[in-house]
Amino acid sequence: MADKDGLKVAKDYQVNEPFANQGNFQVKGAAALDWGMKHRMSKIFNPRTGKTVMFAFDHGYFMGSTAGLERLDITVPNLMPYVDVLMCTRGALRTCVPANNNCGVALRVTSGSSMLNDDLSHEVVAVDIEEAVRLNADCMAVQTFIGADGQLSSLDNLNRVVNAGMRYGIPTLGVVAVGKDMERTDRFFKLATRIVAEMGVQIVKTYNCEHFDEVVAACPVPIVVAGGKKLPEKEALTLAYDVIRQGAAGVDMGRNIFQSQHPIEMAQAVRKVVHEGFTDKEAYEFYLDSVN
Ligand code: 5RP
């Protein structure tokens, strides 16, 4: 084990140098993956833009019924034409999502904590790989708690899911959790995203922070950025624009879409930023024009 006092602070991120092992595939770090995995990754990351708009509505797995998601059966089908990937639990998928759609599926496969617990960092793998195959999942989402009490068990969960995913050709999405006591600095996100990527996941989900371009540069797989708590639409579009400009491969937004006064128009505006090169200002104008 390296002596941590003697470690040098990483600083040479070469943020203007493109990823060197891209090959001819649109997704970072995926050049050496098998065909099935690449095909699933192409369901997630548009082959033309290399990016994704994920719609997260898995909040119920630890928050129960959430404002804006009271009726998954109504809300989700309305939004499906405007997003690339549905991030959800198997319960929501089977009961409320019609199977005749073209969206990718990011299946939440861990559970175990809820808003009633003080410490959310203890989870188990709740969905096995055969179930992910049956549901035709395009990736499996695992919550990881770096620096929290549950770090070891969450990394054990992550590694077991990555191993199963490698056997069956299903990518794993490692979600970097930020608990109430965890810092949201670039130092934390550089540490956590890199640990999760080195465990072998094919996609990392994390949060925006200062020097986000360095977080992206140091992570050898695509980073999808979480929306987080509801912001005014203009600010949420600025968040999307900032992270895409700094190299994110997409966004995974929940509350900033389903709690918007105009969820469909908001999803469309986010798409404009992610896939069509709109600035935040242009996307917000599009949003305003669409709702007025
Ligand atoms: C929890 C998650 C959830 O999918 C995410 O929190 C939902 O999205 P949003 O924060 O944008 O409402 O990854 O860690």
pLDDT tens across 24-38, in order?
999 999 999 999 999
Partners of 107 in the beta sheet?
A: 88, 140
* Mean pLDDT across 239-263: 98
Rounded distance between C-alpha atoms, residue 146 and residue 152, angstroms: 8
24 Cα to the center of ligand 1, angstroms: 31
What are the distances in angstroms from CA 95 to CA 25, 59, 88, 126, 197?
A: 35, 16, 11, 18, 32
Partners of 206 in the beta sheet?
A: 225
107 Cα to the center of ligand 1, angstroms: 13
Instruction: Please give the single-letter amino acid code of residue 151.
Output: Q
Interval 156-188: pLDDT, tens: 999 999 999 999 999 999 999 987 667 889 999
List of residues 6+ apart from 181 with CB closer than 8 A:
148
Does ligand 1 lie within 6 Å of residue 104's CB atom? no
- Say how many residues make up the chain: 292
What are the distances in angstroms from CA 56 to CA 102, 117, 252?
A: 16, 22, 6
Residue keyed to tokens 């242009």: 282
The hierarchical CATH code for the domain 35-291 is 3.20.20.70
Q: For the chain, what are the domain ranges?
A: 35-291
Nearest 5°: phi and psi at 186?
A: -65, -30
Q: So what's the pLDDT on residue 1?
A: 62
Rounded distance between C-alpha atoms, residue 7 and residue 5, angstroms: 6
Q: So what's the pLDDT on residue 79?
A: 98
* Mean pLDDT across 107-135: 94
18 Cα to the center of ligand 1, angstroms: 29
Q: Ligand 1, residue 253: give the atom nearest the CA.
A: 11
Q: Ligand 1, residue 177: give the atom nearest the CA.
A: 14
User: What confidence tier does 292 reach under pLDDT thresholds 50, 70, 90?
Assistant: very high
Q: Is the pLDDT of residue 129 over 80?
A: yes
Q: Which two tokens stand for residue 213?
A: 């371009």
Q: Is the pLDDT of residue 255 over 90?
A: yes
Q: So what's the pLDDT on residue 179?
A: 72
Does ligand 1 lie within 6 Å of residue 87's CB atom? yes
Q: Is the pLDDT of residue 7 over 80?
A: no
Full-model pTM: 0.96
Does ligand 1 lie within 6 Å of residue 177's CB atom? yes
Residue 158 near residue 125, CB atoms below 8 Å:
no
Residue nearest to atom 4 of ligand 1 (CA): 56
Interval 73-101: pLDDT, tens: 999 999 999 999 999 999 999 999 999 99
Q: Which positions are annotated as active-site residues?
A: 205
Q: Which two tokens stand for residue 23?
A: 């090959």
What are the distances in angstroms from CA 14 to CA 20, 176, 188, 215, 292?
A: 11, 23, 19, 11, 44
Does ligand 1 lie within 6 Å of residue 88's CB atom? no
Q: Ligand 1, residue 62: give the atom nearest the CA.
A: 1
* Mean pLDDT across 226-252: 98
